[in-house]
């Protein structure tokens, strides 16, 4: 498995919301999957819907 294939490199992964006001307004301020809403860290193993971010694919090729 590719080492870059982690939740943090997926286009559906939503990073943790920064700032107190933004966190208070956010529905899910913690890092999570945009598809199923499960809490995921950037280094977690991705699900089957994993798709490389556009900026990642530009860097690679």
3 compared with 22, residue with greater pLDDT: 22
Cβ within 8 Å of residue 53, ≥6 positions away:
9, 10, 11
Classify residue 28: in a domain, yes or no. Answer: yes
Q: Find the distance separating the first CA and the last CA of the chain, reported in whole Å.
A: 19
Nearest to 44 by CA among 60, 59, 27, 32: 32
Domain that residue 14 falls in:
7-60
Classify residue 1: in a domain, yes or no. Answer: no
Q: What share of the chain is helix, strand, coil (3-state, %, to 5)?
A: 25, 10, 60
pLDDT at 48 over 80: yes
Burial of 12 (0-12, 13-18, 19+ CB in 10 A): middle
Classify residue 29: in a domain, yes or no. Answer: yes
Task: Report the number of distinct structural domains present in the chain.
Answer: 1
Q: Is the pTM of this model over 0.75?
A: no
pLDDT for 61 equals: 52
Classify residue 46: in a domain, yes or no. Answer: yes
Classify residue 31: in a domain, yes or no. Answer: yes
């Amino acid at each position: 498995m590719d080492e870059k294939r982690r939740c943090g490199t997926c286009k559906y992964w939503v990073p943790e919301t920064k700032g107190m006001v933004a966190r208070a307004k956010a529905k899910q301020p913690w890092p999570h999957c945009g598809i199923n809403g499960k809490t995921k860290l950037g280094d977690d193993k991705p699900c089957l819907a994993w798709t490389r971010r556009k900026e990642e694919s530009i860097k690679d090729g």
